[in-house]
Amino acid sequence: MVQEILEKIKKTKVLVVGDLMLDRYWQGEVERISPEAPVPIVGINREHIRELPGGAANVARNVTALGAECTLLGITGDDPDAKTLKKKLEQEDRVKCDFVTDETIQTIVKLRIISQNQQLIRLDFESPITRKHSQRLEEKMQEYLRTHDAVVFSDYGKGSLTRVSSMIANAKKSKKPALVDPKGDDYSIYRNATMITPNRKEFERVAGRFSNDGELIEKANRMIKELCFESILVTRGSEGMNWIDPDDLPGSRLHGTRAREVYDVTGAGDTVIATIGAGVAAKI
């Protein structure tokens, strides 16, 4: 059964559009406290410096890991970090990249300092994206719609998807499923999306708190009706995830989890939207 699903996914092409970033990890040992201030001194070993695609780029990596073809659209600066990101994606993860270059910004980088499997601090390097470049991103998306089976929008609130409403409309007009990993407290910008995949905190921020599955289903169904979604997937960490679909009685499927000890949950939502996107593209 699993092999049959993977074979179907291999025949699909997924278009991923969203906020691009480079995740940089510096790992070292803490052996003393600084005499200048009460902070730990981390001795960084150059062999333990890693760089990985993040944000929408991580979604694309997950899509290709499942066997599907993937084209990634996003906005970067004109800098070495953008070149590193593209090189890693195309060589290591078989992702086709078509980036809009904004010379006025720096490519988003998230630098994490780690010691003994614990994240000590994260430093974010970013600058605002102009509306002109988000419009160019929409134009690029339109060029690729015909040749892809589904579109995944990965919104980290960094400005690449300021035109997401018209992007979704274009996808629906082309009869392509549009799935969204949302951000912020205004989900009306994702109106008519096929599915959104917020985590519990993100969902409650918009729909209000819930204490049981019944309340979750009620709030999700109300949102689906108001914003014309086909379904909503709410991820709930160790509690699993709920798939709410009004056409699939009793209205919600609870998918459980198997607990694992991890020190970094970075990218968990990316894996979810990539898996769902590949499945939808394959009509599973």
Residues designated as active site: 270
Cα→Cα distances 48→26, 84, 86, 114, 115, Å: 6, 17, 21, 10, 11
Q: State the DSSP string of 50-97.
A: EEEEEEHHHHHHHHHHTT-EEEEEEEE-SSHHHHHHHHHHHHHS--EE
- Maximum Cα–Cα distance for the chain, whole Å? 63
Structure tokens at 115: 């010691």
CA distance 56 to 274: 10
Whether 56 and 155 have beta carbons less than 8 Å apart is answered as: no
Burial 135-172 (b: 16+ CB within 10 A, else e): ebbbebbeebbeebbbbbbbbbebbbbbbbeebbebbb
Those residues whose C-beta lies under 8 Å from the C-beta of residue 17, and which sit 6 or more positions away, are 56, 72, 73, 74, 137, 141, 151, 152, 153, 154, 160, 161, 167
Q: Which residue has the tokens 């980088």?
A: 109
CA distance 17 to 60: 9
The distance from CA 122 to its chain's CA centroid, rounded to whole angstroms, is 19
